[in-house]
Structures are given as structure tokens and as C-alpha cells.
Amino acid sequence: EDKVVQSPLSLVVHEGDTVTLNCSYEVTNFRSLLWYKQEKKAPTFLFMLTSSGIEKKSGRLSSILDKKELFSILNITATQTGDSAIYLCAVQGNAGKSTFGDGTTLTVKP
């Protein structure tokens, strides 16, 4: 059975802090790992990672994948209150079928 585990489950920080969110996985057919941000609505796509060691970056967010150790991290630097959300990690196999972790709830306080 495919499994994706995210940690921590929740995190409270203050504006300006840097956070690291973790995602480890065990899947039978790995094609890619994706990160999503979910506010009080549908998840929105952040990154897709397919190769180890290549950092994806978008503004203050960055992510990297380690296919040997089967994990990924999502970093957010200089956090803002607008970063408060649930961050979901998903691993995709064949036909785009995705297994999601339970998410990390990030709260950024002013």
C-alpha cells in the first residue's frame, strides 16, 4: 500500500521565520512528487519534482527531492501571514494517480 507521511502535522511560527516541511513516502510506482497549498478552498499547485537533488524555487518557497532516501522538503523563508495554510504533499504513480499525505497546517502569526 502506498504511503505518504508529512511532518510536522502543525506548526506555528512568527512572521519572518523560516520553516521546513517534510514529506516521506513509500510507493510502488514513483513518477513525481507534488506540493500543494490549501487555504479555505481547493488545493493549488506549487511544485512538481521528478529528479533528485534539483531544487525548485518560486519566490520565498523552494523544494527538493531525495529519491534515494524517499523524502522531500518544502522550505518557506521570511514567512508572511499569507503563508498560513495547509501544505499537502502527494506522490504520483501511473496515470497520474496520487497518494496524498495528511498535510502540515502552518500558522504564521504577525
Regarding 75 and contact with other proteins (CB under 8 A), the answer is no
End-to-end Cα separation, the chain, in angstroms: 41
Residue 61 to residue 76: CA distance in whole angstroms: 5
Regarding 41 and contact with other proteins (CB under 8 A), the answer is yes
Alpha-carbon dihedral 75, 80, 81, 83, rounded to 10 degrees: -30
Q: Which stretch binds other proteins (CB under 8 A): 26-34, 51-59, 66-74, 75-83?
A: 26-34
Q: Is 25 helix (H, G, I), strand (E, B) or coil?
A: strand
**Using CB under 8 A, which of 4, 49, 76, 108 touches other proteins?**
4
Binding site for other proteins (CB under 8 A): 4, 6, 31-32, 34, 41-45, 48, 88, 90, 92, 95-103
